[in-house]
Amino acid sequence: MKSGSNLEKVLSAGHFAVTTEIGSPRGSDISAIKKKAEYVRGRTDAVNVTDCQTAMVRMSSISVATILIQMGIEPVMQMTCRDRNRIAMQSDIFGASALGIRNMLSISGDHQSFGDQKNSKKVFDIDSIQLVGMVKRLRDERKMLGDDKPIEGEIPMFIGAAANPFVPPVEFRALHLKKKIDAGADFIQTQAIYDIKGFRKWMRIVCDMGLDKRCRIMGGLIPLKTVKMAQFLQTKVPGITISDRLINRLKGVPGDKVEDEGMTILCESIEELRSIEGVSGVHIMAIGLEHRVPEITERANLYPRPVLN
Amino acid sequence: MKNSDKTTEVRIRRIINKKKGMIKLSLKVCVHCSICSESCFLYQSSRHDPTYTPSYKAINSIGRLYKKKGRVSEKEYDEIRELIWEKCVLCTRCYCPVGIDIPMLIASARSICREKGIFRTYDTGESKNK
Amino acid sequence: MIKAERKPLEEIYNMVKGYSSILSVGCGGCTSVCLAGGMRETILLNKELSDCFMKEGGKAVFSVVVTERQCNEEYTGDISDLVSECDCMISMACGVGAQLLAETYESKPVFPGLNTMFVGKDLDVGLYQQNCRTCGDCKLGYTGGICPITCCSKSLLNGPCGGTCLDGSCEVSRDIPCAWNKIYERLKAQNRLDNILNIHEPMEWIDKGPGILVQQGYESRYMKEEKK
């Protein structure tokens, strides 16, 4: 075991893993995340904690991850390269390990121009691949970046990275994924998948490269809540492909049933993803629909979750 | 009195007076050896056009302006403009064996020309978006 | 070359409104070329400032001079007679020129008239694009001649982020192409994809004090000044 995290155990044992995601509060009030965490308790193998997503100032992922640990829920701490240099990152990783955080996800981070601090200075001292490599070095060699002296203590961290399977040229995305795995990624959570056919095609390339054998790939999913949201994802969010057919399907049901239809689409997608070679789990980003995660896991036969020692 | 208040002629005289010693001495000691041409990359790339020789550019710009106290014809100013802007980028790499500061001479000629309202503009070329 | 743009008139006016004898110092180098701080632009600034003073009921005398290159001591040092007559200066050079001017005439306040934007290429007359961030560790050799530090909105060294749009544009704007898609396409066409398949180590940022460059062959001349 590299980290001994629950997520690592579940994936290593060959179970189809489930993770979900909780956004941090825009302030110090943690009542909302506590409520959301209760919805998903026992329903997923780990819960991602975002790191100021869309470049909005939010409570730090390390704090929220720690709160989840105190609640007995396993977090996946997301860490972006946007806001910290290599000093701050390594410092936070030390702290995260000491606080019991065992999973982390290395991502670039949305550009600062999206958020509420548009004129802030970006950092990107190192990129997400270099971050993966840095954590791996801390974990496996107990050495910091560019320093050969051993660090004090262990960094048992299950290292995740993101992937974006749909943006052409897709073969480039696969080569890029290989680079992340070469750097040391143990698991991958992909961008939200609506185009199952496209994803299947990409996974074919990934499997032909043998990448699924070296890393656990989890397909990302976002339940569609409204037609407007689907249209927003279709046109505004990079890397997401939603067919007009899917949007018409949502339009075809009465307004108050759209969310349910979105749930059904999500459950169908989980079924599809389970059948694709090389897919080891799903990552459900239930934005604003955390309370329906229990229902999803039941309908998709993902409940109960395995309990491993 | 500020430089903007004075007439062009007064301002030009002021520049010439300031540089008088340097200009006079330079013009006197130049032996036209043309060694400076070897160090001018524009001379080299102009297929050895003698008008690119640094000393030529200096003598025919500040030399003329100095001798006539800036009172040269418009045609002459135009020729000077070409010498000191089109044929010199003031890279300051020209070498003179007797130590003449050729760039400073060219710079003085440029200062005088500016007072006459003559200087290089960079937006007179054709736009690509036509 | 260095590209700059004029600061808003109001900002310049607010810096110099307390002075009565103002010398605007243009630059005959890069800022002349990019139409921001040459003779013409400096004269124009003085005219606009003069109008401002008049409107606000203030009074000041304006002078103009253009140094050949404000980043060169020999040229900035050449205007001491004019500097002695003014009580403040506006530099129409890049930040380097403004600093050298301030350093050369330490007792006189120097205010920047321009915002120094970037090192860029000329797309057209008055139209420039940033192309180099002078990072000091050029990566163009393995990125197909496309600078990832400048052209990628996140300055990523190992490939794209997840923000590439389906049409190949950057998440930041549909008008910006994803630098890494371009790098991929160019290297693929040159049969050099292996250049980006290996992981490139973190950048060695040179980010300490005002950097010093000693050109090869000139080391012995400056060795005593160089601390290493």
Chain B residue numbers touching C60 (CB-CB < 8 A): none
Whole-angstrom distance, CA of residue A78 vs CA of residue A19: 13
B121 touches chain C (CB under 8 A): yes
The confidence score (pLDDT) of residue A22 equals 95
Let me know if residue A47 belongs to a domain: yes
Contact C50, C60 (CB under 8 A): yes
Mutate to test the interface with C, among B4, B15, B93, B104 (most CBs of C within 10 A): B4
Which chains, if any, share at least 3 CB pairs under 8 A with chain C? A, B
Let me know if residue A230 belongs to a domain: yes
- From the list C34, C66, C123, the residue facing B114 with the nearest CB is C66
CATH number of the domain that A18 lies in? 3.20.20.220
Mutate to test the interface with A, among C154, C157, C186, C196 (most CBs of A within 10 A): C154
Whole-angstrom distance, CA of residue C190 vs CA of residue C166: 24
**Banded pLDDT at C225 (limits 50, 70, 90):** low
pLDDT in tens, chain A (309 residues): 999 999 999 999 999 999 999 999 999 999 999 999 999 999 999 999 999 999 999 999 999 999 999 999 999 999 999 999 999 999 999 999 999 999 999 999 999 999 999 999 999 999 999 999 999 999 999 999 999 999 999 999 999 999 999 999 999 999 999 999 999 999 999 999 999 999 999 999 999 999 999 999 999 999 999 999 999 999 999 989 999 999 999 999 999 999 999 999 999 999 999 999 999 999 999 988 999 999 999 999 999 999 998
Other CB atoms within a 10 A radius of the CB of residue A260 amount to 13
Let me know if residue A1 belongs to a domain: no
B22 touches chain C (CB under 8 A): no
Whole-angstrom distance, CA of residue A105 vs CA of residue A168: 24
3-state helix, strand, coil in chain A (%, to 5): 45, 15, 40
What Rg, from alpha-carbon coordinates, does chain B have? 15
Minimal C-alpha gap between C139 and chain B (Å): 28
**Any residues with CB less than 8 A from the CB of A207 and at least 6 apart, and which?**
A277, A278
Q: How many residues does chain A have?
A: 309
Contact C28, B110 (CB under 8 A): yes
Among residues C35, C41, C83, C33, the alpha carbon closest in space to that of C63 is found at C83
The confidence score (pLDDT) of residue C228 equals 45
Let me know if residue A196 belongs to a domain: yes
**Any residues with CB less than 8 A from the CB of A109 and at least 6 apart, and which?**
A51, A52, A55, A80, A81, A82, A83, C154, C161
Secondary structure string (H, E, C) spanning B15-76: HHHHHHHHHHHHHHHCCCCCHHHHHCHHHHHCCCCHHHCHHHHHHHHHHHHHHCCCCCCHHH
What Rg, from alpha-carbon coordinates, does chain A have? 19
ipTM of predicted complex? 0.92
Chain C residue numbers touching B125 (CB-CB < 8 A): 125
Let me know if residue A308 belongs to a domain: no
Chains C and B touch (3+ CB pairs under 8 A): yes
The confidence score (pLDDT) of residue C224 equals 67
Does residue C166 carry a pLDDT above 60?
Answer: yes
Minimal C-alpha gap between C160 and chain B (Å): 32
Domain hosting residue A21, numbered range: 6-299
**Local structure of C116: helix, strand or coil:** strand
* Strand bridging mode C114-124 / A187-192: unpaired
DSSP category for residue C199? P
- Average the pLDDT over C31-42 and give the result: 95
Task: Say how many CA atoms lie within 13 Å of C31 toward its Cβ.
Answer: 34
Minimal C-alpha gap between C80 and chain B (Å): 11
Among residues A80, A11, A21, the alpha carbon closest in space to that of A48 is found at A21
Q: Which helix (H) or strand (E) holds A36?
A: helix A31-40
Phi and psi at B83, nearest 5°, equal -65, -45
Taken in order of first residue, the domains within chain C and their CATH numbers are 2-118 (3.40.50.2300), 138-197 (no CATH)
Whole-angstrom distance, CA of residue A110 vs CA of residue A120: 13
Closest Cα in chain A to C188: A172
The confidence score (pLDDT) of residue A152 equals 97
Let me know if residue A111 belongs to a domain: yes
Let me know if residue A225 belongs to a domain: yes
C163 touches chain A (CB under 8 A): yes
Average model confidence (pLDDT) across chain C: 93
Question: Is A130–C197 a contact, with Cβ atoms under 8 angstroms apart?
Answer: no
- From the list B4, B107, B125, the residue facing C63 with the nearest CB is B4
Q: How many residues does chain B have?
A: 130
Minimal C-alpha gap between C117 and chain A (Å): 15
Closest Cα in chain A to C165: A238
B21 touches chain C (CB under 8 A): no
Domains held by chain A: number = 1
Which residues pair with residue A106 across a beta bridge?
A79, A161
Give pLDDT tens digits for C187-204: 999 999 999 999 999 998
* Angle (nearest 5°) at CA A82 between A167 and A194: 30
Does residue B128 carry a pLDDT above 80?
Answer: no
Mutate to test the interface with C, among A114, A134, A166, A176 (most CBs of C within 10 A): A176
Question: Is C66–B90 a contact, with Cβ atoms under 8 angstroms apart?
Answer: no
Q: Which token pair is A79?
A: 């860490």
